[in-house]
Amino acid sequence: MAAEGRPNQLFRNLNSKIASIPMILTALVVFAGGTIWTVIYSFTDSKLLPRLNFVGLDQYERLWASSRWIISIQNILIYGVCSLVLSLLIGFLLAALLDQKIRFENTFRTIFLYPFALSFVVTGLVWQWVLNPEFGLQSVVRSLGWTSFTFDPLYNQEIVIFGILIAGLWQGTGLVMCLMLAGMRGIDEEIWKAAKIDGIPTWKTYVLIIIPMMRPVFITTLVLIASGIVRLYDLVVAQTSGGPGIASEVPAKYVYDSLFLRQNLGQGFAASTMMLLTVLVVLIPWAYLEFGGRRKNA
């Protein structure tokens, strides 16, 4: 066989290559190609249609001069930090409580997770209704006798982003809980036994032993939540449409509006490139830790 020469490299594993054509096309054309295309066109003055008339960093200067964009960034920062911290905290707390060999564990888990099955649009609309100042939570508390009670986040520019946060947490913490619970269940039971023999209180075991052991789960969850935060769009559109005024604008909405409503492609490309940049800042260190580290161990 070998004497007759190796078969042409291109035709080795041919079926596998043919089968992989969709993946290759998606990876190269859409993901890599599309990303590069957008980044390149973010340096042009494209308006209604994309055109290759380079204007340097003009689009970015205009972007950062836009109050709408600044508000979007502020919002996503507030939402992001709160959402990260709270969903990790609540998710971990709920998982730890469910991990206590309690009764009705399945019922509780089902209740905590079902919002995750719902779309952001549904989530946003429900909470828009619950937080409606005229009929919702505020009016109910007022009708109970506390007449000066005020809680109308969706109509108050100062706190509207927290109204969205409440809905976002409602939808997403179930997932975090689930991941945390899976992580906890993956921990060797004998560690718990050893800690009990050593007389470590339960909460201390969680904080000093279990959490450090769950580091990989935390990192994965963090990346997952973070990539979800950057994409925050449907929820805002459904719950507030960016209002009141432009108080609850977010970057993803800025991109969509620039591209498809305001015929300002260059701005959309620049804004989406900024989003990409943020994600890379998070993603590259993580990929390095996750995969670079693994290689070292292997």
Partner 1 sequence: MHDPRSAAAAAAVMLPFEGPRGPRPRKALSTRNIFIYGTLLLFAFYYLLPLYVMIVTSLKGMPEIRMGNIFSPPVEITFEPWVKAWSEVCTGLNCDGLSRGFWNSVRITVPSVILSIAIASVNGYALANWRFKGADAFFTILIFGAFIPYQVMLYPLVIILREMGLYGTLWGLVLVHSIFGMPILTLLFRNYFTSLPEELFKAARVDGAGFWGIYLKIMLPMSLPIFVVAIILQVTGIWNDFLFGVVYTKPDVYPMTVQLNNIVNSVQGVKEYNVNMAATLLTGLVPLFVYFVSGKLFVRGIAAGAVKG
Partner 2 sequence: MSSVVVRDVSLNFGTVEVLKSLNIEVDKGEFLVLLGPSGCGKSTLLNCIAGLLDVSDGQIFINGKNVTWEQPKDRGIGMVFQSYALYPQMSVEGNLSFGLKNARLPKDEIDRRVKRASEILQIEPLLKRKPMALSGGQRQRVAIGRALVRDVEVFLFDEPLSNLDAKLRNELRVEIKRLHQRLENTMIYVTHDQIEAMTLADRIAVMRGGIIQQLDAPQAIYNKPVNRFVAGFIGSPGMNFIEGLVDGGDGKPRFRAGDAAIDIGRYGFENGAPYGSKAVFGVRPEHVAVGEAAVSMPVNLDAAIEIVEPMGSDTLAWTKVGGQNFSIRIESEKAPAVGDRIRIGFDPVRASLFDAGSDARI
Per CB under 8 A, contacts with partner 1 among 102-131 are 102, 108-122, 125-130
Q: Which does 88 bind (CB under 5 to 8 A by kind): partner 2, partner 1, none?
A: none
Q: Which does 217 bind (CB under 5 to 8 A by kind): partner 1, partner 2, none?
A: partner 1
Nearer of residues 6 and 295 to partner 2, judged by Cβ: 295
Q: How far is the CB of 210 from partner 1 (least distance, A)?
A: 16
Nearer of residues 36 and 208 to partner 2, judged by Cβ: 208
State which of residues 94, 95, 160, 184 lies at the interface with partner 1 (CB under 8 A): 94
For the chain, what is the HEC assignment? CHHHCCCCHHHCCHHHHHHCHHHHHHHHHHHHHHHHHHHHHCCECCCCCCCCCECCCHHHHHHHHCHHHHHHHHHHHHHHHHHHHHHHHHHHHHHHHHCCCCCCHHHHHHHHHHHHHCCHHHHHHHHHHHCCCCCCHHHHHHHCCCCCCCCCHHHCCCCHHHHHHHHHHHHHHHHHHHHHHHHHHCCCHHHHHHHHHCCCCHHHHHHHHHHHHCHHHHHHHHHHHHHHHHCCCHHHHHHCCCCCCCCCCCHHHHHHHHHHHCCCHHHHHHHHHHHHHHHHHHHHHHHHHHHHHHHHHC
Q: How far is the CB of 186 from partner 2 (least distance, A)?
A: 13
Q: Does 194 interact with partner 2 (rule: CB under 8 A)?
A: yes
Q: Which stretch binds partner 2 (CB under 8 A): 57-65, 138-146, 183-191, 241-249?
A: 183-191
Q: Which does 197 bind (CB under 5 to 8 A by kind): partner 1, partner 2, none?
A: partner 2
State which of residues 191, 219, 261, 287 lies at the interface with partner 2 (CB under 8 A): 191
Nearer of residues 54 and 260 to partner 1, judged by Cβ: 260
State which of residues 126, 200, 259, 282 lies at the interface with partner 2 (CB under 8 A): 200
